[in-house]
Amino acid sequence: MATTAPESTAALNRIALTIRRRTIETSARARIPHLGSCLSCVELLTTLYWQELRIDPQEPEAPNRDRFVLSKGHGAPVLFQVLAERGFFEIERLAEFGKPGSVFHEHPPKPGYIPGVEAATGSLGHGLPMAIGMAIAQRIQGIDSRCYALLSDGECNEGSIWEAAMLAAGQHVHNLTAIVDYNKWQATDRSQEVMALEPLAAKWEAFGWYAQEIDGHDLAAIGQALAAARTETSKPSVIVAHTIKGKGVSFMEDDNNWHYRTPNPDELAAALAELQEVQL
């Protein structure tokens, strides 16, 4: 299995900027919501797809590939941009995004429709257990690969996440890295105020996981945490990544209205102008 070519931080930043711009443009054009949730995980996905995952876009179903499951399925709009940019399919396919009859809508469909999509998600609390099943399958089959799942903090409301957490620790599923995109919001409220999430990293630790806490927009920190997780040989790993919902656009950052809102033409222009100002 081809390993992703290491990318420089500057190159990763450039990719992240492109992904961010395209995600916002698509949200505005196709009226696709969950923009804030997409923008909070751009650096996480960029690092995974350009630096961490052992994947080959030309051979998306290779049995020995690493598997990535977007457990926070409402982040599909940004995942689709990542998969296109990474070469799983032609970027032109995204012109159909949001149109009637397209598979490119608000959540990932089951495998077989969009190359690179490993599981249909969107029903929260569902992707992490599927990723654990994939990791256990790799162990049974003697395949030296790894599984990854990206969760939202709101998703940690679901009981099945904690069922999965206990099972993975009990079975010593160490070829697994979960990442929580901890942007401090869920659909309608602060995640800490809806359910007592804190201390989140300590909770995972108490459930038997190797837990790391990082700035989820710091590319170097993400890369280091993913690498450290790979060295753990007895426990599943979790990276609690502190992020900002709507990251990258001043008037979207930490404003939960952008969970459901999509940009009007003025807002789109303002957002893109801000993103052009980034000095790489």
Binding site for another protein (CB under 8 A): 63, 67, 69, 110-111, 118-120, 123, 125-126, 129-141, 159-160, 163-164, 166-167, 170-171
User: Given the complex with another protein, which of 71 and 243 has the nearer CB atom?
Assistant: 71
CA dist., res. 129 & res. 137, Å (int): 12
User: Given the complex with another protein, which of 42 and 114 has the nearer CB atom?
Assistant: 114
Q: How far is the CB of 240 from another protein (least distance, A)?
A: 20
User: Given the complex with another protein, which of 126 and 217 has the nearer CB atom?
Assistant: 126
CA dist., res. 255 & res. 252, Å (int): 5
Q: How far is the CB of 195 from another protein (least distance, A)?
A: 17
Q: How far is the CB of 154 from another protein (least distance, A)?
A: 17
Q: How far is the CB of 185 from another protein (least distance, A)?
A: 24
The secondary structure of residue 68, as a DSSP letter, is E
Q: How far is the CB of 123 from another protein (least distance, A)?
A: 5
Q: What angle do CA 234, 238, 244 make, to 5 degrees?
A: 170
User: Given the complex with another protein, which of 39 and 114 has the nearer CB atom?
Assistant: 114
H helices of the chain, in order, are 9-30, 35-39, 42-47, 76-86, 127-141, 159-170, 191-194, 200-206, 219-231, 265-276
Q: How far is the CB of 36 from another protein (least distance, A)?
A: 25
Cα 144 to Cα 1, 139, 229, 237: the distances in Å are 10, 8, 15, 16
The number of residues making up the chain comes to 280
Q: Do the Cβ atoms of 239 and 232 come closer than 8 Å?
A: no
User: Given the complex with another protein, which of 167 and 270 has the nearer CB atom?
Assistant: 167
Cα Rg, the chain, nearest whole Å: 18
User: Given the complex with another protein, which of 15 and 164 has the nearer CB atom?
Assistant: 164
